Amino acid sequence: MKIIINGKEDSITPLDGKININELLAIKNVEMPDMVSVELNEVILNRADFVNTFINHGDRVEFLYFMGGGAA
């Protein structure tokens, strides 16, 4: 299915027809889900819901990376 990740079109093939947020993060090489916040169709997801939130064709997914530096 086609989805948009961080503004870019992407195509993913779920093995058993379904893919949750944690699996998507793994496929996209986000090493630890804790490194990012995830927004699905402009709604921020609770971390606890990553596992039971499934991706659908046409979804817009954003990985929001923590950036802690201010070089102070």
Rounded to 10 degrees, the C-alpha dihedral 17/22/25/31 comes to -140
Contact footprint for another protein (CB under 8 A): 6-7, 28-32, 34-35, 37, 39, 42-44, 46-47, 62-72
Shortest distance, position 29 Cβ to another protein, whole Å: 6
- List CB contacts of 27: < 8 A, sequence separation 6 or more: 12, 19
Q: Which is nearer to another protein, 6 or 56 (CB)?
A: 6
Shortest distance, position 57 Cβ to another protein, whole Å: 21
List, in sequence order, every residue forming a beta bridge with 5; answer none if it has no partner.
8, 61
